[in-house]
Copies of this chain bind each other. A is one copy, B any other.
Amino acid sequence: MGLKVVALAGGVGGAKLADGLAAILAPEDLTVIVNTGDDFEHLGLTICPDLDTVVYTLAGLANPETGWGRRDETWAFLDTLEGFGGPTWFRLGDRDLALHILRTNRLRSGQPLSQIVGDVCRSLGVAPRILPMTDDRVRTIVLTDEGDLPFQEYFVARGFEPAVRGFRFDGAERARPAPGVLESLEEAEAVVLCPSNPWVSLDPILALPGLRQAVARRPVVAISPIIAGRAVKGPAAKMYREMGIEPSPAAFAKHFGGLLAGLVMDTADAALAPDLEASGLRTLIRPTLMQSREDRRELAEATLALAVDVMKERAAR
């Protein structure tokens, strides 16, 4: 399919849709811009969970059970670390460690993250362009009723238990989009917001200087990560409720203001479509749960079909 697409992606759902897009688009037509707001320093290593999930997924190396980490992983390092009384709340597999150690060492020597990711993709045979949203340090802080928590502490260590009051993206206002980010948006015919958490996967990307404006200049279609009031994985629905909003595809669309031109939503939410259509949003009703690689591909195809519809409609105006 000949369409230049930029996808914005966060965690597991984002990675799966990116994989579906990679299956139908020529590599040179797909750029995936990945959230780095949940990157963190752990045991002296720089860990980039969303980037790694996207890269491992597109490389066919992701663990199909967890969504994060590598398949065929071993845990000798973590077992030994536990014996030393070291922290084991963040699960670092033996194979996964190779990427963390290489990356940390290269970052410390002054190389930009985007260049390291490019090299990793090349060595894993990942052909589409995967870009961190920025080479600068941005850190998502979750404001909770138990205080401000760095994202991974909230998400992994505390199992997203504390109630959310808001979010902060430390460093975002000074961070420059990584080389290629704004350029790829300028060249894109359509932008896809993957079914990722709006609060902590997509918002950090859109918080970068110039990002939201660059996205807004393109036809934008999204896939709702909320199905029948629930998130497929993770705390998105819980966050909505704690922020005083009923989670739904409509709330997801509203979250982005007027940014979306089209929304793919699950068959379970079909009843919401007429109101959204009436408000000027093009909708497409589809099964959106991605359980197989075929599901990813089909959802990506539907999403791009919706994007093409939106583009035609605009051209006809």
Contacts and interface: CB of A to CB of B under 8 A. Distances in A.
Interface of A: 43-45, 73-74, 76-81, 83-86, 93-95, 97-99, 101-102, 104-105, 108, 120, 123
A285 to B, nearest CB: 42
Given A102-B86, A123-B84, A74 B94 contact: yes
Q: List 10 tightest A-B contacts by C-beta distance, closest first.
A: A80-B98, A76-B94, A44-B105, A81-B98, A94-B94, A80-B95, A74-B76, A77-B94, A43-B105, A76-B95
Contacts of A79: 95
Given A81-B101, A102-B86, A108 B44 contact: yes
A123 B81 contact: no
Contacts of A85: 123
Indicate the member of A83, A86, A94 with the most B CB atoms within 10 Å: A94
A97 B99 contact: no
A237 to B, nearest CB: 35
State how many copies of this chain the complex holds: 2
Contacts of A78: 98
A83 B83 CA distance: 29
Contact of A84 (B74, B76, B84, B120): B120
A105 to B, nearest CB: 4
A43 to B, nearest CB: 5
B94 A81 contact: no
A94 B78 CA distance: 9
B102 A43 contact: yes
A44 B103 CA distance: 10
Given A76-B95, A97-B97, A98-B77, A83 B45 contact: no
B101 A45 contact: yes
A120 B86 CA distance: 11
Given A44-B105, A76-B76, 16 more contacts: A43-B102, A44-B44, A44-B108, A74-B76, A76-B94, A77-B94, A79-B95, A80-B94, A80-B98, A81-B101, A81-B102, A84-B102, A84-B120, A84-B123, A86-B102, A97-B97
A209 B278 CA distance: 83
Contacts of A120: 84
14 contacts: A43-B101, A44-B44, A44-B104, A44-B105, A74-B94, A76-B76, A77-B77, A77-B94, A77-B98, A78-B98, A83-B123, A84-B102, A85-B123, A86-B102
A296 to B, nearest CB: 25
B99 A84 contact: yes
A74 B79 CA distance: 12
A213 to B, nearest CB: 36
